[in-house]
Structure 1
Amino acid sequence: STGTGEYEGRGRQAAMRYVGSLIPYRVAMHVRADSRINSITDLKGKRVSSEFNAQKTIARIIEAHLANMGLGYGDVVKIPAPNVVRQAEDFMSGKVDVLFFALGSAAIKQANASVGGLRVLEVGTSPDAIKRTQALLPGAYVMQVAPNPALDGITKPTNLIAFDMVLITNAKVSDDVVYRVAKALHDGKEDLVATFPPFALFQPQNMAKVLEGVPLHPGAMKYYREIGLAK
């Protein structure tokens, strides 16, 4: 909304409004299961995808993982990639040593089958580690993920970086429309999960959590006040 960072030069988006927080987007750095890389700190001097000219936020998220453990892009060998698809191809062909992707994604399943297994690199949970992460990725947090057959690379409870997927609208959208959308989401978890299984992680009671820099739409605020999620 501020027109900074990857959106430099596009101007401040003053009409942007927040409707609510939905589900955590869990991301991780993956290595081959037989790799000698056992932690993010071991990535020093290793080949890591960079640039991402077609998906600039990906480079920032990878940098946040490195920063979590006190590293930066200056500590690794940067291998430019335009997007995450090319990055996955480079990982499977051995051109890079680590693969960043959303946990449990189709690309991770493909890479897991291609290289004979993956292993997720855990992030740090100290206040300093989280502070370094959030300096690059505001709103990010660390969550622990348990082993699950659907999640390749997770063999034990593992701390990962996550950030919330949120619903954004425009200030010009009517209060009534946004009110009804917020209510439908809050009351409709069962239907949402049936349509898109990752909504199993949806916590309706967290919909009104603060999104730094983006004000709640009045229609959403009205609904959250009615049900006690906002004052």
Structure 2
Amino acid sequence: MSAVRFELSGISMRYGAAEVLHQVNLSFDQPEMVALTGPNGAGKSTLLGIMSGLRQASSGRCLLNGTELSRWNRRDFATLVSVVPQSLKIDFPFTAEQVVLMGRTPYAGGLFENEQDWTAVRRAMELTDTLDFAQRDFRALSGGERQRVVLASALAQEPQALLLDEPTTFLDLKHQLSIYSLLRDLSRAGLLVVAVTHDLNLAASYSDRVIVLQRGRVVADSEPCAALTPERILAVFGVETTWLRSPAGNSWIAYGH
């Protein structure tokens, strides 16, 4: 199976008179972990939606492995790419395990699940620490628990690429770190991971590459320390920052004076 490659050229997006993305040119190759960051309204989620095939750009091209995204069969697309939204609304009494099992839909060959399906489901739930509430009603879970179940469903697809829209929004600190550690491990194991995030420290600590968007334009695309300089953070986010380093060699971004 060939490696996943996204190519975006001249991507622009308008909602009426408002231009949300302007002439975006980017490529993404498996394997790597990429953070998409920027202020509210910068175009991050819109860009991810175009890559997910859920939104159609006003102009430009988005290719997956050399083929226009619009020409991909959705089932074939789903065997390569999993999409993790900010939230998932389910009105029916599905258990967490049943929601994860939905991730196996692209491989459905009949009315019943097979051993491979259940193996993928269990592994995904182990990775996301969701086995303890596998039989609970998805609707009764906390926001953070639901978010982890949605990620487990995406992993059960056994994709080559993961596209995630703010995957840690509802998570406590422990699970924020564990999820980003998992995503980094997955990228090192061969996946392409592209995650929208507002957390600059998560982006800097776990990503191979950081893309900064401002008013629909790419203003940085490089390794974290080069993309997230104090000067750029001030220009884009309006916040003064300093890079600090611990005696153990770990770096992080401190905000303010």
TM exceeding 0.5? no
The TM-score, its normalising length taken from structure 1, stands at 0.30
More strand by share: 2
| Greater relative contact order (CA < 8 Å, ≥ 6 in sequence) | 1
Return the TM-score normalized by structure 2.
Answer: 0.27
